[in-house]
Chain A
Amino acid sequence: MRRWLLRRALQSLVTLAVALVILFLLMHVLPGDPLSRVGEGRPLTLEQMQALRDRYGLDRPLVEQLWSFVVGLVHGDLGVSIEYARPVTGLVFERLPATLLLGGTVLLLNFTVGLWLGVRQAVRKDSPEDRWLTTLSLAGYATPSFWLGLVLAWLVGVHWRLLPPAGMRNPLLDAGGLAAVADVARHLVLPAITLSVVSIAGTMRYQRSAMLEALRFPYILTARAKGLTERQVLWHGWRNALFPVLTLFGLWLPILVSGSVFVESVFAWPGLGSLAAAAVGNRDYPLLMGAAILVAGMVILAGFLTDVAYALLDPRVRYS
Chain B
Amino acid sequence: MTHWTPRPAASPTPAARRARVIFAGIGLAVSALASPRAVPAQTESARTSFVVATGDEATVPIPTLLEGGSVANRDVADQLFARLGQLGPTLITSGDRAFEPLLARSWTRRDSVTLAFDLDPRATWHDGKPVTAEDVVFTFRRARDPAVSPGLANLLRRIVSVTAEGGRKVVFRYTEPYGEQLYDAVFHVAPLPAHLLASIPAESLAYAAYVQAPVGSGPYRWVRRVPGEFVELAANERFFLGAPAVRRVIFRKAVDGAARLNMLLAGEADATENIPAPPSNVARVSADKNLRVIPVPSPTLGYLLFNQRDSRDRNRPHPTLSDRDVRRAIGLALDRRLMVRAVLGNAGEVPYGPAPTTLWIRYGTPAAAPMNLREARRLLDSRGWTDHDGDGVREREGRPLTLSLIVPTSSPIRLQMAQMAQEQLRAVGVRLVLDQMDFRVYLERRDAGAFDVDFASTSLDPSPSGLGQGWSCQGLTNVARYCDPAVDSLIDAAIRTREGAGPAWHAVLRRIEDDAPAVFMYTLNYMYAVNRRFTNVRIRPESPWLGLREWTVGPQGARRPAGD
Contact = CB atoms under 8 A, between A and B. Distances in A.
Contacts of B411: none
Nearest to B146: A48
B45 A174 contact: yes
Contacts of B250: 171-172
B60 A85 contact: yes
Interface of B: 1-4, 6-9, 13-16, 19, 23, 29-30, 33-34, 38, 40, 45-46, 49, 51, 59-60, 65, 67-69, 146-147, 150-152, 154-155, 206-207, 226-230, 232, 248, 250, 252-256, 258-260, 262-263, 265-268, 438-441, 443-444, 447, 459, 461, 469, 475-477, 560-564
Interface of A: 31-34, 36-45, 48, 51-52, 83-87, 91, 94-95, 98, 113, 116, 120, 122-127, 129, 150, 153-154, 156-158, 161-175, 179, 182, 185-186, 189, 212, 215-216, 218, 220-221, 224, 230-231, 265-268, 270-271, 274-275, 278, 281-283
From B6, B147, B447, B476, residue with most partner A Cβ within 10 Å: B6
Given A94-B227, A161-B560, A186-B34, 9 more contacts: A32-B438, A33-B440, A33-B444, A42-B69, A42-B150, A45-B154, A86-B59, A171-B232, A282-B440
B37 to A, nearest CB: 10
Given A40-B68, A42-B151, A271 B228 contact: yes
A153 B259 contact: yes
Contact of A270 (B33, B45, B227): B227
Contact of A163 (B155, B228, B562): B562
A163 B206 CA distance: 38
Contacts of B226: 169, 171, 270
From A36, A167, A221, residue with most partner B Cβ within 10 Å: A167
Contacts, number: 225
A31 B444 contact: yes
A182 B33 contact: yes
Nearest to A120: B16
A186 B146 CA distance: 48
B69 A37 contact: yes
Contacts of B46: 172
Contact of B444 (A36, A38, A44): A36
Contacts of A37: 68-69, 443
Contact of B40 (A175, A212, A221, A268): A175
28 contacts: A32-B440, A33-B440, A36-B443, A36-B444, A36-B447, A39-B476, A39-B477, A40-B68, A42-B154, A43-B469, A43-B476, A44-B476, A45-B154, A86-B207, A113-B23, A161-B267, A166-B254, A169-B229, A170-B268, A170-B561, A171-B51, A171-B229, A171-B230, A172-B46, A185-B29, A230-B13, A268-B256, A282-B440
Contacts of A98: 228
Contact of A38 (B68, B475, B476): B68
A193 to B, nearest CB: 9
A161 B564 contact: yes
A224 B4 contact: yes
A266 B256 contact: yes
B440 A189 contact: no
A278 B255 contact: yes
Contacts of A230: 13
A61 B354 CA distance: 41
B9 A124 contact: yes
A278 B70 CA distance: 14
Contacts of B230: 171
B438 to A, nearest CB: 7
Contact of A157 (B67, B459, B560, B562): B562
B150 A51 contact: yes
Nearest to B60: A85
A165 B263 CA distance: 6
Nearest to B466: A43
A85 B229 contact: no
Nearest to A94: B227
From B40, B46, B207, B477, residue with most partner A Cβ within 10 Å: B40
A44 B562 contact: no
Contacts of A220: 4
A182 B51 CA distance: 21
Nearest to B30: A189
A154 B262 contact: yes
A127 B9 contact: yes
A166 B469 contact: no
A167 B263 contact: yes
Contacts of A113: 23
Given A41-B69, A42-B69, A85-B206, A186 B440 contact: no
Contact of A274 (B30, B51, B255, B561): B255
Contacts of A116: 19
Nearest to A154: B262
Contacts of B447: 33, 36
A147 to B, nearest CB: 12
A40 B29 CA distance: 49
Given A43-B151, A161-B563, A216-B4, A153 B262 contact: yes
Nearest to A185: B33
Nearest to A212: B6
B189 to A, nearest CB: 11
A138 B262 CA distance: 29
Given A44-B151, A186-B34, A162 B259 contact: no
Contacts of B229: 167-169, 171, 270
Contact of B268 (A52, A166, A216): A166
B440 A268 contact: no
Contact of A281 (B7, B33, B439): B439
From B7, B29, B256, residue with most partner A Cβ within 10 Å: B256
